[in-house]
Amino acid sequence: MKDGQKINAEFDVFIQKELDNIQMSYDVGLWSELKQKLDDNDSSQNEPKENKYSNKINHLRYIIYLSLILHILLICFIFYQYYVKNESENKKHELPVIESYQMPEEGKSIQTQKEILPFTLEKDSMQEMSHDKNNDPQSIFSKEDIGYTKSNNEPLQDVHQDSFQQVKSLMPDLSHDTTAIKPDPDLRKKEEIKKKKKYIIW
Amino acid sequence: MFISEEIFQGCVSGDRKAQEKLFQTCYNESLKLILRYIPSQEDAKDVLIQAYFKVFTKINHFSGDYTNLFGWIKRILINQSLDFLKSVSGNKIQDIPAIQEMLYDETEEEKADDFILTLIQQLPEMHRKVFNLYAIDGFSHKEIAVICQISESNSKYYVHTARKILQEKIFKVELP
């Protein structure tokens, strides 16, 4: 060790010894101040612990409620997607129920159980009907089925035409009979209203 | 200084009597240590209370042997004192007074019981801090450089200058 360093070390020891000899008078007030601070700290530490704990529980509760609500919403959405929506779509594509179709009498009528068409349809209504049938891909009935094949919608002339004429000649003339069934002039309008109602329902 | 296991255990369990006993036992050394860093008595006492509050609230974290407890307390006292100085002086850079100015500008001290403490307190802040840390509390220049955010060579310079000032003043009082 160099002389300079030795002197420095001795000086430091001297300082330390001098400092060790110093006696400080005890201040009682300091302890009471410190004690007060410690007591305050203890009391304040006990209260927030409970608050912190209850806050955590509340927080957890909110999370559970929120997740529950979200799950319910999710289930509702899935139900809507897979059941309600699909069902409604299926209904849209479902073919309209035609309960039974009677083959029309020669040149006279198309008859269903629900509705009775006039014996002789006007030309316009027949055209409209054939037009509707052409546009409807789901139609299961061909023109032959209902007895109209010609563009002017006249009754099909087949092999039975002669016999039909013979039978007709034997039948009494009912043109002046007021009790005979006559075509309803408002039938077409009624039909249209019915059709519209059907579409609205679907 | 003797700290019994009973006092230590009492402090760990938060017993006020044990805490008071520990405070009384360490009071002299603790206040002297703080006064070396902080010349004002009032400020030193405030720092002492804050430091012991920390000691009693964090004593559960002390993992060493109870015989080394004062070493741990000492470290807390030093840190608290340095924090106080930092908060008071902030980050402003202090001008280093010339050595001659520091030696002869002061009034002559009479030799009292605590005259060495008074001489240390009269050192400029950075000199006082570095000298206390190195010469009395046993920190290395490397540690001081980190604590005071200065270079090691600066630390050595402050210690050297502080010693020179103190030696001059002591000789002046001892050999008038």
Instruction: Report pLDDT for A113.
Output: 46
Instruction: Report pLDDT for A164.
Output: 75
Helix, strand, or coil (residue B64): coil
- Residues in B touching A9 (Cβ below 8 Å): none
Instruction: Report pLDDT for B106.
Output: 47
Place of tokens 């400092």: A19
Compare CB distances from A30 to B32, B49, B114 and report the shortest one's residue. B49
Q: Which of A126, A107, A102, A95 is nearest to A188 (CA)?
A: A126
Q: Which of B166, B105, B117 is nearest to A11 (CA)?
A: B166
Q: Considering only A104-108, A149-153, A198-202, B21-25, which range has the smallest mean pLDDT? A: A149-153
Query: What is the predicted ipTM?
Result: 0.81
Average pLDDT value for residue range A64-75: 94
How far off is chain B from A72, nearest CA to CA, in Å? Answer: 48
Using CA atoms, how far residue B135 sits from A4, A21, A184, B142, B165, in Å, is: 15, 17, 126, 14, 14
- β-pairing, A101-102 vs A111-112, is antiparallel
Establish if A30 touches chain B: CB-CB under 8 angstroms: yes
Q: Does the global pTM surpass 0.80?
A: no
- Under an 8 A CB cutoff, do B28 and A8 touch? no
**B159-B160-B165-B169 Cα dihedral, nearest 10 degrees:** 100
Residue to mutate among A6, A7, A12, A17, with most B CBs inside 10 A, is A12
How far off is chain B from A48, nearest CA to CA, in Å? Answer: 16
Instruction: Report pLDDT for B45.
Output: 93
User: Confidence class of residue A155 from pLDDT cuts 50, 70 and 90?
Assistant: low
Q: Which residue has the higher pLDDT, A103 or B55?
A: B55
Helix, strand, or coil (residue B2): coil
- Residues in B touching A11 (Cβ below 8 Å): 163, 166-167
Q: Which amino acid belongs to residue A133?
A: K
Q: Report percent pLDDT > 70 for chain B.
A: 85
Taking residue B34's Cβ as centre, other Cβ atoms within 10 Å add up to 22
**Using an 8 Å Cβ cutoff, are A104 and A110 in contact?**
yes
Task: Compute the distance between CA of residue B47 and CA of residue B28 in angstroms, rounded to an integer.
Answer: 14
Closest-approach residue (CA) in chain A for B133: A12
Cβ neighbours of residue B147 closer than 8 Å, sequence gap 6 or more: B82, B133, B139
How far off is chain B from A30, nearest CA to CA, in Å? Answer: 7
Over residues B59-114, the pLDDT tens digits come to 988 888 888 899 999 999 999 999 999 888 764 445 455 544 554 444 444 556 67
Residue to mutate among B16, B50, B156, B164, with most A CBs inside 10 A, is B16
Task: Compute the distance between CA of residue A172 and CA of residue A60 in angstroms, rounded to an integer.
Answer: 93
Task: Compute the distance between CA of residue A63 and CA of residue A56 in angstroms, rounded to an integer.
Answer: 11
Q: Which residue has the higher pLDDT, A37 or A196?
A: A37
Average pLDDT value for residue range A74-83: 87
Closest-approach residue (CA) in chain B for A39: B16
Helix, strand, or coil (residue B95): coil
**Using an 8 Å Cβ cutoff, are B119 and B169 in contact?**
yes
Over residues A87-128, the pLDDT tens digits come to 777 776 666 655 555 565 665 555 444 454 455 555 555 555
User: Confidence class of residue A194 from pLDDT cuts 50, 70 and 90?
Assistant: confident
Instruction: Report pLDDT for B81.
Output: 94
Task: Compute the distance between CA of residue B1 and CA of residue A20 in angstroms, rounded to an integer.
Answer: 12
Establish if A63 touches chain B: CB-CB under 8 angstroms: no
- Residues in B touching A27 (Cβ below 8 Å): 27, 45
Highest mean pLDDT among A148-157, A190-199, B50-59: B50-59
- Under an 8 A CB cutoff, do A27 and B45 touch? yes
**Using an 8 Å Cβ cutoff, are B96 and B124 in contact?**
yes
Q: How many CB pairs under 8 A join A and B?
A: 64
Q: Report percent pLDDT > 90 for chain A.
A: 12
- Would you say the C-alpha torsion A130, A132, A137, A140 has a positive or negative sign? negative
How far off is chain A from B39, nearest CA to CA, in Å? Answer: 14
Establish if A34 touches chain B: CB-CB under 8 angstroms: yes
Over residues A179-192, the pLDDT tens digits come to 656 667 678 788 88
Task: Compute the distance between CA of residue B95 and CA of residue B88 in angstroms, rounded to an integer.
Answer: 16
The three-state DSSP-derived secondary structure of chain A is CCHHHHHHHHHHHHHHHHHHCCCCCCCHHHHHHHHHHHHHHHHHHHHHHHHHHHHHHHHHHHHHHHHHHHHHHHHHHHHHHHHHHHHHHHHHHCCCCCCCEECCCCCCCCEECCCECCCCCCHHHHHHHHHHHHHCCCCCCCHHHHCECCCCCCECCCCCHHHHHHHHHHCCCCCCCCCCCCCCCCHHHHHHHHHHHHHHHC
Average pLDDT value for residue range A152-174: 67
- Residues in A touching B20 (Cβ below 8 Å): 31, 35
Over residues B113-127, the pLDDT tens digits come to 678 889 999 999 999
